[in-house]
């Protein structure tokens, strides 16, 4: 490998190469070898600053900054699920004007992408332009892009998300009001390239002093949540704003405070909480000696959900923890990764999972992802499709120069591959700036800029899949009165011991799963297998279900039912026969109340004497179960009676038998 200084001297050398490297792995084995390598582009000169998004078909669309014509232009290429470049060899030109930098990209919802970048075509300061490209590699808007913001001074640090309607929402730092102090602006662009909000963008925050490092996610309704670091109080805090589909800020003008703790809070990252709100993480200097990683959850209206000023993710370990990145764990919580200097000098990679209630789920100081020699930096992560994550980073373990490594961490914090990760690419010279995107099939694709030729930077991408031990084809539910019938089908199974069925009461903040039962698996089969499970005698309410598939070694993964199940209210009063009957010493009694009513259930002996009152309170309409413990009474025949008050009075009596 060569040094960074040598690379910079050769930065404008002659030959460029764009390649795709594809890897397929088995879930229980570490990533180890490439299965395919091919040339995607052999354009001359440098290709740098790659960004990528899904193509929704198992591949990726990549954009980059390209110097093949002696000036920085923007190009794009699509890589299909087989690892082949499918557009024009060497990439499709997105913008051939001079001086274009730092492209960002998002999926357009129909197989193509929207790309935005900084352009200096109009002056010595940066403006913002955008282009849409379809799944066939045909640009859809004005040649060289449509102008999204062309006001005075710089607009930079662009981030962008899909607006869920074929367009995109982007946010950026904007110096129009003061060349030395940035504000935060945003714009929404339609599928046809029209600006949907105020020309040149909506002010998200124009508070005095500096605002920076904006990040955003879609709010799922055509708008977005935007978070940033804000110096309005003299040190940097974290603020957040929600903007509607129509471009109207929804919360307090200039944003709601996410964290205003002492000293600086920097570099926020944001994800959905799965309940119309967000989880935000940042690097925090409140201790005044070390940066630590904190996180906060905010509701749909901006309200703080967790402890004021956030919850620490790494138990305040020594030295600096910086550059946090976050994704949803798809269970209401999040997974966070960061660069960690706890050893004092060298950077490592750590991670933490936090629940929907703000409780850290893994080791209090964070889980070690990589502590190999020298520095590991610039970690990026994406969901593995099973409530865990793939984490990629830039790794300097080999003679201090950089390679690209990856690790998979499961929802229980177990690492699926070799300690300190597996090399995605450790070719000669430097590999820099990884970007990672899901392939939609429990795998991922990593993109980076590559100096392996020793002359200039190229763009390389690499894909891998995880062959799951159980491939689930479907998971459905049917409600029958107060019972839930779950049915699922597997396409194939490897080492499958069986499925635990887990249930929880549906709630945005509830993460308390209970074991409802177990269904044995079929070991290893390559044919369709059908399963079913009946969860009986549930009370009125909403429930979530998931399958915990367990192999013979104790490893497991989760499969979630896609929506909640609702047990309604009965149509008439009823008192069921207790079960079991006869019994010793405990039995259960089901009863049904079609309207809100005062309910009394009492047990009597043969002489009519009251033995025990089981229920004596107002009940909402619904299905109920009450337990009777007969430990303190003798064997014999007893009666239990339900009686309700009100206009629809109901009385019913049944027998039960205690045998000891």
Confidence of residue 14 (pLDDT cuts 50, 70, 90): very low
Regarding pTM above 0.85, the answer is no
pLDDT score at 469: 66
pLDDT greater at residue 422 or residue 622 = 622
Lowest mean pLDDT among 191-195, 310-314, 317-321: 317-321
What's CA 195's distance to the chain center, in Å?
A: 28
pLDDT score at 512: 82
Task: Tell me the per-residue pLDDT of 358-416, one tens digit each, with 9 for 90 and over.
Answer: 999 999 999 999 999 999 999 999 999 889 999 999 999 997 789 999 999 999 998 87
**In 3D, which of 525, 553, 536, 540 has the Cα closest to residue 501?**
536
**541, 496 Cβ separation under 8 angstroms:** no
What rounded mean pLDDT belongs to the chain? Answer: 90
pLDDT greater at residue 154 or residue 42 = 154
- Tokens for 36, please give them: 């395919």
Confidence of residue 6 (pLDDT cuts 50, 70, 90): very low
d(CA 54, CA 123): 33
User: Beta strand 202-205 with 183-189: parallel, antiparallel or unpaired?
Assistant: antiparallel
pLDDT score at 528: 94
Lowest mean pLDDT among 554-563, 609-618, 638-647: 554-563
In this chain, the answer to whether the domains covering 470-567 and 574-658 adopt an identical fold is: yes
d(CA 626, CA 638): 16
On the question of pLDDT at 42 being above 70, the answer is no
pLDDT score at 17: 39
Beta-sheet strand order (sheet of 265-272): 265-272, 278-284, 292-298, 311-312
Altogether, the residues listed in the chain come to a count of 660
pLDDT score at 411: 94
Confidence of residue 354 (pLDDT cuts 50, 70, 90): very high
Q: Domain spans of the chain?
A: 470-567, 574-658
Confidence of residue 592 (pLDDT cuts 50, 70, 90): very high
Task: Tell me the per-residue pLDDT of 485-532, one tens digit each, with 9 for 90 and over.
Answer: 999 999 988 889 999 999 999 875 666 889 999 999 999 888 999 999
pLDDT score at 23: 34
Compute the average pLDDT of residues 287-295: 95
CATH architecture for segment(s) 470-567:
Sandwich (2.60)
What phi and psi, each to the nearest 5 degrees, are found at residue 96? -105, 5
For residue 630, give every residue at least 6 positions away whose Cβ sits within 8 Å of its Cβ, in sequence order, or none: 583, 584, 585, 586, 587, 658
Confidence of residue 272 (pLDDT cuts 50, 70, 90): very high
pLDDT score at 5: 29
On the question of pLDDT at 128 being above 50, the answer is yes
pLDDT score at 38: 37
**In 3D, which of 545, 536, 547 has the Cα closest to residue 500?**
547
Considering Cα of 182, then 288, then 252, then 249, what sign does the dihedral take?
positive
On the question of pLDDT at 39 being above 70, the answer is no
Lowest mean pLDDT among 125-139, 464-478, 591-605: 464-478
Give the DSSP letter of residue 601: E
206, 211, 214, 216: CA torsion to nearest 10: -40
pLDDT score at 16: 34
What's CA 453's distance to the chain center, in Å?
A: 36
Intra-chain end-to-end CA distance of the chain, in Å:
81
On the question of pLDDT at 1 being above 60, the answer is no
Query: For the structural domain made of 574-658, what CATH number should be given?
Result: 2.60.40.1930
Compute the average pLDDT of residues 119-134: 95
pLDDT score at 58: 87
Beta bridge partners of 187: 170
């Amino acid at each position: 490998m060569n040094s960074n200084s040598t690379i910079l001297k050769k930065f404008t050398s002659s030959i460029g190469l764009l390649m795709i490297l594809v890897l397929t792995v088995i879930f229980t084995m570490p990533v180890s070898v490439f299965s395919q390598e091919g040339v995607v582009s052999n354009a001359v000169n440098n290709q740098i600053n790659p960004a990528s998004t899904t193509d929704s078909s198992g591949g990726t669309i990549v954009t980059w900054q390209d110097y093949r014509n002696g000036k920085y232009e923007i190009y794009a290429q699509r890589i299909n699920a087989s690892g082949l470049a499918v557009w024009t060899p060497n990439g499709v030109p997105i913008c051939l004007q001079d001086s274009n930098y730092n492209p960002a990209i998002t999926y357009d919802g129909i197989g193509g992408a929207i790309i935005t970048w900084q352009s200096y075509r109009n002056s010595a300061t940066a403006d913002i332009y955008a282009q849409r490209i379809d799944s066939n590699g045909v640009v859809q808007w004005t040649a060289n892009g449509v102008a999204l913001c062309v006001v005075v001074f710089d607009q930079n640090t662009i981030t962008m998300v899909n607006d869920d309607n074929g367009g995109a929402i982007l946010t950026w730092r904007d110096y129009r009001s003061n060349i030395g102090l940035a504000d935060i602006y945003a714009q929404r662009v339609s599928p046809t390239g029209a600006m949907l909000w105020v020309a040149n963008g909506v002010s998200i925050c124009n508070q005095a002093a500096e605002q920076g490092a904006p990040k955003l996610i879609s709010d799922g309704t055509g708008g977005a949540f935007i978070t940033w670091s804000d110096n309005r109080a003299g040190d940097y805090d974290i603020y957040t704003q929600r903007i509607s589909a129509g471009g109207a800020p929804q919360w307090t003008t200039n944003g709601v405070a996410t964290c205003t703790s002492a000293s600086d809070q920097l570099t926020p990252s944001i994800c959905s909480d799965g309940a119309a709100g967000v989880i935000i993480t940042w690097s925090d200097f409140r201790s005044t000696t070390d940066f630590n990683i904190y996180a906060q959850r905010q509701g749909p209206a901006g309200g703080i959900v967790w402890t004021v000023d956030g919850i620490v993710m790494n138990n305040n370990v020594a030295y600096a923890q910086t550059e946090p990145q976050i994704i949803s764990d798809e269970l209401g919580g999040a997974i966070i990764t960061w660069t960690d200097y706890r050893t004092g000098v060298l950077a490592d990679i750590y991670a933490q999972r936090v629940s929907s209630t703000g409780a850290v789920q893994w080791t209090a100081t964070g889980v070690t992802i990589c502590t190999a020699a020298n520095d590991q930096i610039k970690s990026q992560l994406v969901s593995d499709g099973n409530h865990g994550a793939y984490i990629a980073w830039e790794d300097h373990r080999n003679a201090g120069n950089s390679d690209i490594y990856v690790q998979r961490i499961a929802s229980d914090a177990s690492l699926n591959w070799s300690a300190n990760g597996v090399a995605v690419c450790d070719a000669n010279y430097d590999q820099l700036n990884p970007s990672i995107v899901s392939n939609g099939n429990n795998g991922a694709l990593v993109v980076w800029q590559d100096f392996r030729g020793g002359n200039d930077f190229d763009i390389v991408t690499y894909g891998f899949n995880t062959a799951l031990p159980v491939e689930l084809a479907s998971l459905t539910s049917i409600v029958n009165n107060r019972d839930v019938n779950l049915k699922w089908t597997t396409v194939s199974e490897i080492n499958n011991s069986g499925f635990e069925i887990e249930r929880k009461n549906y709630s945005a903040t509830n993460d308390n799963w209970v074991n409802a039962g177990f269904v044995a698996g079929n070991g290893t089969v390559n044919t369709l297998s059908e399963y079913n499970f009946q969860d009986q005698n549930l009370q009125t309410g909403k429930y979530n279900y998931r399958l915990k598939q367990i192999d013979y070694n104790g490893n497991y993964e989760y499969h979630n039912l896609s929506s909640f199940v609702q047990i309604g209210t009965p149509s008439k009063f009823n008192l069921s026969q207790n079960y079991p009957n006869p019994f010793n010493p405990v039995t259960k009694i089901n009863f049904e109340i079609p309207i809100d009513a005062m309910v009394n259930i009492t047990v009597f002996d043969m002489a009519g004497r009251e033995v025990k009152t089981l229920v004596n309170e107002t009940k909402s309409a619904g299905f109920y179960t009450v337990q009777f413990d007969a430990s303190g009474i003798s064997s014999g025949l007893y009666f239990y009676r339900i009686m309700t008050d009100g206009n629809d009075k109901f009385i019913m009596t049944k027998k039960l038998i205690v045998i000891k």
